[in-house]
Amino acid sequence: MDAIFLQILNGLDKGSAYALIALGLTLIFGTLGVVNFAHGALFMLGSFCAVTLNKILNLSVETIDPTKTDFLGNPLKVKTPYVQAWFGDDFGAAIIDWGVPLAILFTIPVMIGIGFIMERGLIKHFYKRPHADQILVTFGLAIVLQELIKYFFGANPIPTPAPDAFKGSFDFGAMLGMDPNVIIYPYWRLIYFGFAAVIIGAVFAFLQFTTFGMVVRAGMADRETVGLLGINIDKRFTIMFGIAAAVAGLAGVMYGPINSPNYHMGMDFLVLSFVVVVVGGMGSLPGAVLAGFLLGILESFASMTQVIDLIPGINQIIIYVVAIIILLTRPRGLMGRKGVMED
Amino acid sequence: MFGLDKKDSTLLLIVAVLTMFAPFILNPFPEGSALAQFNAGYPDLMQRFVIFGIFAIGFNILFGLTGYLSFGHAAFLGVGSYAAVWMFKLLSMNVIPAIFLAIVVSGLFALLIGFISLRRSGIYFSILTLAFAQMMFALAYSVLTPITNGETGLQLTLNDPRVLGQSATADGSIPVTSLFGMEMRQTFQLDMGAWLFQFNVGYYFSAVIMLIAFFIAIRIFRSPFGMMLRAVKSNQQRVNYTGLNARPYTLAAFVISGMYAGLAGGLLASMDPLAGAERMQWTASGEVVLMTILGGAGTLIGPVLGAGFIKYFENIFSKINDNVLHEWFAFLPDGLENFVVFVMHPFIGKGWNLTLGILFMLVVIFLPGGLVEGGQRIAKLFRKGKAKDSAKPTTKPAE
């Protein structure tokens, strides 16, 4: 019982990341009809926004402390980050400590900007081209973005720690009246899950309860008619692309403390996210979210030692196996709509 | 000739002559001159030209003819390599059984994967093949370590049985791959003045196989089967409404192209008997897609051109470094020189992947028909005014 509960919890954080990326992919696909192979790269870029902010916050001024000397007898050089110099020691240290959550504020405008540039500069010209061309050009873009990041930040993972307050683990078992230390779960993963839930909720609410969202949904259903009604649907779809990019970026920022950002994390997640989208049903937003969590949890169950002993290597391939089974039995995916990508 | 019409025979002959004289053609600059770094006439690189040429020709049979974009073709290349190395370990160092097994095994894999993936078309197909390839890559890295030797890659050792050959040579080293006694790595050198030409057994072996593969591809392109595949590409629905089942045709194309990839993998292993999982990664799959598109998908000669182009520039770009760049741009004023070198720095040396990505985007955006289309456009420009419609291109670029 505890083991099952623990695995479900373990699956949630990975599932959240899958769900967020798949949500963005589906948004882009549903609105613009473009298959975006560069979406994983957007996830990675978000992660590196946090890295960049960390670097900026840690920019230091070097001062000489005359009261202390180093082992050679020279005056000791002390590095003080500018934020500490400006805002005082305690507050400055707190800002640095909270770098990752702060990066959220920094990431949203950056990612929306990147999304705008991508859509207006590149993707726009590919609406009328075949899907194969869209795949290829975004695939090329993904390689370029990934290599640029590698060039500027190096090939090694860069640790981006969570704030001190969220280090450590939460004892679930004790809360539920079980033995302590049986089901413990890192705080940050819990926060990641909550964060993902909020983002997903916000996107759905935005689409469901605002006029803008209504127009976008109408455009997803029948773009031509909405255009004929005199609504500039292209502009709204561009904004949706920006939002999708921001969602992927946010997923990346918050994932930093769980898994140190490296330049190829985007592609690792992209392949899985595509599988998630296909399992959920192309063009279905709830399907993407559902399949994301489902596959995340399945993956964590498959990683249990008992299961691996039974079927070796199942943890590596479970997602693909599920995808193959789903595609063969329910070709449209779990919640796919009729008429979307049927050709 | 061999059942080809005049035009195709000429094309085949040209390709044959070019590949046979490649050691001369690719070595135009004298040894030791400043331009010698642009020579490509050494065995290792020439082998890669023809082997990846085979890979791209096979990929083109699937993508160029049917329009199904597979993103997992490198998996078959990897499977072929593993199969070939196992044959070297268990049977003998002769390359024929190794290549044979490589083709058969990759064909079987292609049959299985194609059977499942081809149930869907378009983007679904791409994702499915990508998923399969990633799955095989993950398995080769982890669980299948007894077969694939995981991260280290599969290598020959002195304790391999090699039933028909010998475990070790007389002087106690691992035997080398050969074709009935002709060692693959054997190279004849020809000194002609300042030039040094190298004729490698492995290269000529691969080149002959590539010519055969190219010939088969031409026959497929011109056959009723090829017409059927084109029909699938231009409108699968109409094919279905005519009462024809397209799937056996597409599956056959998928298996054939998988076997081509396996053949390329087997040849790679024959030239250098080791196999690693990284050959199956998605970047490798992307590379063959790029080769085909860059050359011109759906054309006969395009994929070979594309493969040669990419492998050549990969080699050149990896070789040049900042010092070389400084030499090249020495004629510029110092500040400008430094600036140019600074701008080009990310693209050279280890930055080849970045260049590749940018090239990929540029080709897809501006030249979807690839080099062949580019050549046709230029030819058209020159012919404008002279002949009106006589210069109608026979090959059709991919959509």
Please state the φ and ψ torsions of residue A171, each to the nearest 5 degrees.
-95, 95
Task: Let me know: does A328 contact B119? Beta carbons within 8 Å.
Answer: yes
Which one of A26, A28, A35, A147 would you mutate to disrupt binding with B, by most B Cβ within 10 Å of its Cβ? A147
Which one of B119, B123, B293 would you mutate to disrupt binding with A, by most A Cβ within 10 Å of its Cβ? B123
Residue B209 confidence (pLDDT) = 92
Query: Which chain A residues have a beta carbon less than 8 Å from that of B354?
Result: 143-144, 147-148, 151
Residue A339 confidence (pLDDT) = 58
Residue A112: pLDDT band by 50, 70, 90 thresholds? very high
Residue A36: closest C-alpha in chain B: B123
C-alpha distance from A169 to closest chain B C-alpha (Å): 30
Residue B42: pLDDT band by 50, 70, 90 thresholds? confident
Q: What is the pLDDT of residues A226-259, one digit of tens each?
A: 889 988 888 888 888 999 999 999 988 888 888 8
Across the range A298-308, mean pLDDT stands at 82
Mean pLDDT of chain A: 82
- Strand ranges inside B281-338, DSSP E: none
Percent of the residues in chain B that have a pLDDT greater than 90, as a whole number: 22
Across the range B113-128, mean pLDDT stands at 85
CATH number at residue B267: 1.10.3470
Across the range B379-397, mean pLDDT stands at 63
Residue A325: closest C-alpha in chain B: B116
Q: Is A101 exposed, middle or buried (0-12, 13-18, 19+ CB in 10 A)?
A: middle
The DSSP 8-state label assigned to residue A75 in this structure reads E
Nearest by CB to B127, from A130, A275, A343: name it. A275
CB pairs under 8 A between A and B: 115
- The distance of Cα A115 from the centroid of its chain, to the nearest Å, equals 14
Residue B62: pLDDT band by 50, 70, 90 thresholds? very high
More confident residue, B108 or A1: B108
Alpha-carbon gap, residue B393 to B370, rounded angstroms = 14
Q: What is the pLDDT of residues B272-295, one digit of tens each?
A: 888 888 888 887 888 888 888 888
Given 3.40.50, 1.10.3470, 1.10.8, 3.30.200, which CATH number is that of A2-56+99-329? 1.10.3470
Within a domain: residue B13? yes
Which one of A320, A330, A332 would you mutate to disrupt binding with B, by most B Cβ within 10 Å of its Cβ? A320
Query: Does B131 contact A328 at a Cβ distance shorter than 8 Å?
Result: no
Task: Let me know: does B323 contact A106? Beta carbons within 8 Å.
Answer: no
Mean pLDDT of chain B: 83
Residue B359: closest C-alpha in chain A: A140
Within a domain: residue B147? yes
Within a domain: residue B146? yes
Nearest by CB to B142, from A130, A147, A316: name it. A316
Within a domain: residue B196? yes
Is the pLDDT at A102 greater than 70? The verdict is: yes
Across the range A99-106, mean pLDDT stands at 83
Residue B391: pLDDT band by 50, 70, 90 thresholds? very low
Across the range B65-91, mean pLDDT stands at 90
Across the range B223-230, mean pLDDT stands at 91
Which one of B129, B363, B364 would you mutate to disrupt binding with A, by most A Cβ within 10 Å of its Cβ? B364
Query: Does B123 contact A140 at a Cβ distance shorter than 8 Å?
Result: no
- Strand ranges inside B138-265, DSSP E: 154-155, 178-179, 182-183, 187-192, 195-200
C-alpha distance from A94 to closest chain B C-alpha (Å): 37
Alpha-carbon gap, residue B272 to B226, rounded angstroms = 34
Across the range B147-152, mean pLDDT stands at 80
Residue A198: pLDDT band by 50, 70, 90 thresholds? very high
Query: What was the ipTM of the complex prediction?
Result: 0.80
Residue A329: closest C-alpha in chain B: B119
Q: What is the pLDDT of residues A123-146, one digit of tens each?
A: 888 888 887 788 888 888 988 898
Query: Which chain B residues have a beta carbon less than 8 Å from that of A332?
Result: none
Q: According to the per-residue pLDDT averaged within each range, which of B104-108, B195-199, B267-271 is highest?
A: B104-108
Alpha-carbon gap, residue B178 to B198, rounded angstroms = 18
Query: Does B138 contact A130 at a Cβ distance shorter than 8 Å?
Result: no
Q: Give me the number of domains chain B comprises.
A: 1
C-alpha distance from A32 to closest chain B C-alpha (Å): 15
Residue B395: pLDDT band by 50, 70, 90 thresholds? low
Residue A343 confidence (pLDDT) = 47
Residue B76: pLDDT band by 50, 70, 90 thresholds? very high
More confident residue, A207 or B351: A207
Task: Let me know: does B22 contact B45? Beta carbons within 8 Å.
Answer: no
Residue B397: pLDDT band by 50, 70, 90 thresholds? low
**Residue A201 Cα distances to A19, A28, A208, A252, A285, angstroms:** 12, 18, 10, 18, 11
Query: Does A316 contact B143 at a Cβ distance shorter than 8 Å?
Result: yes
CB atoms within 10 A of CB A89: 10
Is the pLDDT at B33 greater than 60? The verdict is: yes
Q: Is A68 exposed, middle or buried (0-12, 13-18, 19+ CB in 10 A)?
A: exposed
Alpha-carbon gap, residue A121 to A98, rounded angstroms = 34
Alpha-carbon gap, residue B131 to B137, rounded angstroms = 10
Within a domain: residue B353? no
Within a domain: residue B253? yes
Query: Which chain B residues have a beta carbon less than 8 Å from that of A309?
Result: none
Query: Which tokens sit at A262?
Result: 């490296």
Nearest by CB to A144, from B128, B289, B357: name it. B357
Residue A99: pLDDT band by 50, 70, 90 thresholds? confident
Is the pLDDT at A166 greater than 80? The verdict is: no
For B181: left if phi > 0, alpha if psi spans -120 to 50, otherwise beta; the answer is left
Which amino acid type is present at position B147? I
Alpha-carbon gap, residue B88 to B160, rounded angstroms = 9
Query: Whose structure tokens read 């290269």?
Result: B203
Query: Which chain B residues have a beta carbon less than 8 Å from that of A148?
Result: 346, 354
Is the pLDDT at A340 greater than 60? The verdict is: no
Domain extent at residue B96:
6-280
Residue A224: pLDDT band by 50, 70, 90 thresholds? confident
Task: Let me know: does B371 contact B295? Beta carbons within 8 Å.
Answer: yes
